[in-house]
Amino acid sequence: MSLRNGLSSTPSPMPQEVVIQEVLTCFDVYARVRGARDSVLAASRADPREEERAFSELRQAITRLRATSRPG
């Protein structure tokens, strides 16, 4: 028996689980960018384009999640 096909192989995540992780990651990025918007340190501040891009990526990830959740 090969180790590749044996017990050592880990199951690959379901597509919906991958998309859920993507949504959580995008949300985390957006929350950090949003929090950095009003930072007292100028070097830590996020510009509006960065916040807009993070929000857009979050919306796209949510759309993908909704598409995988639909019965079809």
Q: Please return the burial class of 4, using the count of CB atoms within 10 Å of its CB with bins 0-12, 13-18 and 19+.
A: exposed
- 5 lies in some domain: no
Q: Range of 34's domain?
A: 15-69
- 8 lies in some domain: no
Q: Please report, rounded to a whole number, the percentage of residues in the chain having pLDDT higher than 90.
A: 53
- 21 lies in some domain: yes
Structure tokens at 16: 């919906």
pLDDT in tens, 3-37: 445 555 566 667 899 999 999 999 999 999 999 88
Which amino acid, 71?
P
User: Dihedral of CA 38/44/49/55: which sign?
Assistant: negative
- 7 lies in some domain: no
- 39 lies in some domain: yes
Number of domains in the chain: 1
- Of 6, 22, 3, the C-alpha closest to 14 is 22
- 34 lies in some domain: yes
CB-based contact 25:54 (threshold 8 Å):
no
Verdict on whether the full-model pTM lies above 0.75: no
